[in-house]
Structure 1
Amino acid sequence: MRVKCVICDKIESIEDETLMAKRLRNRPIHTYMCKDCNERIKERTNARIETGNFRLYRAAENEDNW
């Protein structure tokens, strides 16, 4: 299956039988990010978390615990 990264528009191939391919076929809301973009976002997010000025907002299910 050919997929396109939503950030850098790089076109890659993934196996048709993988879980990611199934998610992309069955649920169009899911998007694909290449490994380079995924790593870059992960590194920058971790750097922002380490500064202490980053607050992660969780889903509504955690509001019951307040």
Structure 2
Amino acid sequence: MKVMLDIKDSKAGFVMGLLQRLPFVKAKPLSKFQAKVLEDVGDAVNEMHLIKKGRLAAKDAEDLFREL
């Protein structure tokens, strides 16, 4: 199982030290860019689920291009 944690920078070293001492846990920090990409992808997936369920209106492709 994979888990993403959001930890204050001031406590990150402590938590990473604890996790790395556990033989059954592989822990590696993400860069700010990697964390942002994962968060954005997760948001996009959630939006797609809402669109498929009819709870959110889909945007027209032309509107998406105008936003870029």
Q: TM-score range by the shorter chain?
A: 0.3 to 0.5
The structure richer in helix per residue is: 2
The structure richer in strand per residue is: 1
Q: TM-score, normalising length from structure 2?
A: 0.40
Q: For the pair shown, which has the larger CA radius of gyration, 1 or 2?
A: 2
Instruction: Using CA pairs under 8 Å that are at least 6 residues apart, name the structure with larger relative contact order, 1 or 2.
Output: 1
